[in-house]
Amino acid sequence: MLAIGIMLVVMVCGSSLVLGTNLYALRKARRLESAGTRVEGECVGHYWPSGGYVGAVCTYSAEAGQELTVRSSRYSVPPVEVGDAVEVVHEPGRPERAMLLFEATRRVGYDTALTAVMGALWAAAVTGLLLTL
C-alpha cells in the first residue's frame, strides 16, 4: 500500500510539473499568436543540436530597425531552407521575444492536447491518492 501511495505522489508531482510548464508555454504561444506583431523574416542558416536534429536560424527586423535572430525548434528535417521567407511574430515592445509564426500556431494545438492529457493524468493520480488515504 505504501508503494502505491509513493507512486501516486510521484505521478502527481511529475504531472504537475509538466502541466505547469506546458500551461506557461501555451499562454505564451497564444499571446504571441493573437496579439503579437508580425514581421517578415528570412532563414539565414541551420543549426544542429544533439540527436541528429536540425533547426532554422532566421533574421527579422524590429520597429527600431534593429536586426534580430530567432531559432526554430528542432526537427528531423529542416523546417525551412536557407533564403526562404518566414513570418515571425514577436511581443509588442519586446521584439527580442519572438517565435516563427508557424511554430506558434502549431504550438497552440500541441500544448492544448498535452495539457488535456496531463490534466487527466493529474486528476487520476490525485483521485487515487485520496482513495488510498
- What DSSP line would sit under 62-109, residue for residue? -TTS-EEEEE---BSS-SS-TT-EEEEEEETTEEEEEEEHHHHHHHHH
Q: Name which residue leads in pLDDT, 86 or 94.
A: 86
Q: Is 121 exposed, middle or buried (0-12, 13-18, 19+ CB in 10 A)?
A: middle
Q: What is the dihedral of CA 14, 18, 24, 29, to 10 degrees?
A: 180
- 85: which 3 cell numbers? 521567407
Confidence (pTM) = 0.68
**pLDDT attached to residue 46:** 96
**pLDDT attached to residue 83:** 95
CA 33 to chain CA centroid, Å, is 12
Element of type H or E holding 19:
helix 2-35
CA 47/CA 50 separation, integer angstroms: 10
Average pLDDT, the chain: 88
Residue 22 phi, psi (nearest 5): -70, -40
Confidence of residue 114 (pLDDT cuts 50, 70, 90): confident
Confidence of residue 111 (pLDDT cuts 50, 70, 90): confident
CA 24/CA 31 separation, integer angstroms: 11
Could you report the per-residue pLDDT of 1-58, keeping only the tens digit for each? 788 888 989 999 988 998 888 888 888 878 888 888 899 999 999 999 888 899 999 9
